[in-house]
C-alpha cells in the first residue's frame, strides 16, 4: 500500500500530490514507516532530464574574455 502510493506520487512523500496525502497520513509518520519497513523511497523517484543546449561547448572549452574583443579558454588561462 505504501509502495503503491509512492509509485503513484513518483517518490514524493509530502505536499499536495505526495504519498502521505494519498494515504491520509502526516508526512512525518509516513517517512517513519518507510524507514521502519526499510522501503527504499528513492526507487520511486523519477529522474528529471537536464536540458540540452545545442550550442554548449565541450567541458574545458568555456570562454573567458580577457578583453572586450578577445576570448580565451580556461586551459589557456591556467596553462593546462
Each residue of 23-44: pLDDT tens digit? Answer: 999 999 999 999 999 999 889 8
Query: Is residue 70 included in any domain, yes or no?
Result: no
Query: Is residue 8 included in any domain, yes or no?
Result: yes
Query: Is residue 20 included in any domain, yes or no?
Result: yes
Query: Is residue 63 included in any domain, yes or no?
Result: no
Under 8 Å CB-to-CB from 7, ≥6 apart: which residues? 44
Return the pLDDT at 47. Answer: 74
- CA 7 to the chain's CA centroid: 17
Return the pLDDT at 26. Answer: 96
Report yes or no: 19 and 28 within 8 Å, Cβ to Cβ.
no
Return the pLDDT at 79. Answer: 67
Query: Is residue 32 included in any domain, yes or no?
Result: yes
The label of the residue with cell 504519498 reads 19
Query: Is residue 75 included in any domain, yes or no?
Result: no
**Reported pTM:** 0.57
Amino acid at each position: 500500500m505504501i509502495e503503491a502510493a509512492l509509485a503513484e506520487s513518483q517518490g514524493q512523500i509530502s505536499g499536495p500530490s505526495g504519498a502521505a496525502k494519498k494515504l491520509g497520513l502526516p508526512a512525518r509518520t509516513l517517512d517513519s514507516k518507510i524507514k521502519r519497513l526499510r522501503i527504499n523511497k528513492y526507487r520511486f523517484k523519477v529522474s528529471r532530464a537536464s536540458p540540452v543546449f545545442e550550442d554548449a561547448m565541450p567541458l574545458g572549452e568555456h570562454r573567458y574574455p580577457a578583453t572586450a574583443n578577445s576570448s580565451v579558454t580556461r586551459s589557456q588561462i591556467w596553462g593546462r
